[in-house]
Structure 1
C-alpha cells in the first residue's frame, strides 16, 4: 500500500508511526507550520517525518494547485488524514484509487465536526473514542472502518481524555491496516441521523457563567483546562483562570453564597447557580493559561475584599 498522509498534532505523530511500523509505503506527508499564536504542547509531524526519513511538505491550503500536483505525483493508493486541520477537496481525495480515510476523535456518528474531545467533556459524556472512517465531501460522514472507545472519568480534563483518544487512534489504525492492505477494508454504516455535529470553539467560549449549575461549570473547567486556554471570569477588570478544580459537597460551603468565586475556610471555591460547589485548586491571573501567574488564596482574598 502506497499512501499520502495529511497529518498534524499527536494523533498525526502516532498514526504516522503506525503506518511506518506496518510497512505502508508513505510517499509523502503533508503537515502544517506552527502558528505563532499557538501553544505547541504536542508533537510536530514534520519532526516525525524527518525522523522516519519520509518526504514531507507544509500545506496549509489543500486547494493549492501545487499541493494537488505533489499529491498526484506521489501516486498514492490511499490517502490518510490524521488531525490535519482543513477539509481535503473531493477531487483530491479521488486521486487515491483505494480510498481516502480520516481519523476522528469521537465515536462516530456522535460528535462530528470540530474539537470533539472538548465538546464531549463539556457535555458530561462518560465515553468517547477514535474512529477511522472514509472521507467524503461532507465532514465525518463516510462509512466507518473501525473505532475504539475510551472512558471519560468524572474528573478527567479534556487534555487527559485527548491522551486516551490518541492511544485509541493508534490502536484503531493498527487493527484496521492488515485488512485494508489486503484490499478488504471493513465498511460499517455511519448513520448521521443517530449522531451530532459541533462547530469549533473560541477562547471566549471559556467564559464561566456561574448562573449555570455547578456540574455545568465544572464540565467547562475540565473541557478547556490547560493545555487549552482555560475557563475564566473577570473580577474588577482583572481576568482569572480556573486552571484546576474538584467538585465539593455542597454542605462544605455556607448556604446562601452568591454564584461566583469565594474564599471559604482558606480555600477558593466556585459556587454555581444551583448552590453546588467546586474547589478551585489552581487559580491563575492573566489573559490566558499560557500567559498567567498563580494566585494564592490570600492574594485572592485581598482582591475580592478590596472589590467589595
Structure 2
C-alpha cells in the first residue's frame, strides 16, 4: 500500500510511525510550518520525515492546484490525515482509489469539529477517545473505520487526556490497518443526529465567571490548563492565570466570589459557595505567591 499522509502534532507523529511499522510506503507527507506565536509542546512531523527520509511539504493552501498535482504525482492508494489542521478539498480526497481517512480526537459522532479533547474536558465527560473515519465534504461526517476509548479521570487536564487520546489513535490505527491493507475496510454508521459539533476556542474563552458552580469552573481550568493558555480572571485591574488548581476540600469562610487568601492558601470562591484551591497562580508570566496575592488584594481594596 502506498499512502500520502497529511499530519501534524503528536497524533501525526505516532500514526505516521504506525504506518511505517506496518509496512505502508509513504510517498509524501503534507504538514505545517510551526507558528512562532504558538507554544510548541508537541513532537514534529517534519523532523520525523527528515529522520526517515520521507519527502514532505508545508503548503499554505491545501486547496491549491499545486498541492493537488503533487499529491496526484505521488500516486497514493490511500490518503490519511492525522491532526492536519485544514479541511481537504473533495478533489484531493478523490485521488486515492482506496479512499481518504482522518483520525479525530473523540468518539464520533460526539465532539465533531475543533479541539475535541478540550471541549470534552470542559463539559465534564468521563470518557473520550480516537476515531478513524472516512473523510467527506462535511467535517468528521464519514463512516467510522475504527475507534478506541480512554477514560477522563476527575482531575485530568486536557493535556493529560490528549496524551491518552494519542495512544488511543495509535491503537485504533494499528488494529485496523491490516484489514485496510488487505482491502477489507470496515465501515460503521456515523449518525450525526446522535452527536455534537464544536468550533475552535480562543484564549479569551478562558475567562472565569466566578458566579458559576465550582465544578464548572474547575472543568474550565482543566480544559485550558498549561500548555494551553489557561483559565484567567481579572482582580482589581490585574490579570491572573490559574496554573494549577484542585477542587477545595476545605471549607472557606464567607468570602466574596473571586480570588482570596486564607491561612496562606490561595482560593477561588465560586458561585455555589464552594472553592478551588489554587496551587499555582501567575500574572504577567510570573509566579504569584499567596503572600503576594494577599498583599495585592489588600492594597487594591
**Gaps spanning 5+ residues in structure 1: where?**
287-291
Provide Cα deviations, 1:103-157, integer angstroms capped at 9, x if missing partner.
Answer: 0000000000000000000000000000000000000000000100000000000
State yes or no: 1:257 paired with 2:250: no
How many residue pairs match? The answer is: 301
Q: Distance in 2 between matches of 1:20 and 1:52?
A: 9
Q: Distance in 2 between matches of 1:52 and 1:149?
A: 30
Residue aligned with 2:67, SS: helix
State yes or no: 1:5 paired with 2:23: no
Q: Distance in 2 between matches of 1:69 and 1:213?
A: 53
Residue aligned with 1:193, SS: helix
Which residue of structure 2 lines up, in the alignment, with residue 289 of structure 1?
none
Which residue of structure 2 lines up, in the alignment, with residue 79 of structure 1?
79
Which residue of structure 2 lines up, in the alignment, with residue 282 of structure 1?
280
TM-score if structure 1 supplies the norm length? Answer: 0.97
The alpha carbon displacement at 1:237 in A equals: 2.2
The alpha carbon displacement at 1:213 in A equals: 0.5
Q: Distance in 1 between matches of 2:238 and 2:231?
A: 14
Match of residue 303, structure 1, among 285, 296, 299: 296
Q: Distance in 1 between matches of 2:234 and 2:248?
A: 23
TM-score if structure 2 supplies the norm length? Answer: 0.99
CA contact (8 A) 2:251 2:274 kept: no
Provide Cα deviations, 1:164-210, integer angstroms capped at 9, x if missing partner.
Answer: 00000000100010000000011110000000000000000000010
CA contact (8 A) 2:242 2:281 kept: yes
Which residue of structure 2 lines up, in the alignment, with residue 139 of structure 1?
139
The alpha carbon displacement at 1:239 in A equals: 1.1
The equivalences for 1:1-308 within 5 A come to: 1-249=1-249, 252-254=251-253, 256-286=254-284, 292-308=285-301
Aligned CA-pair RMSD: 0.7
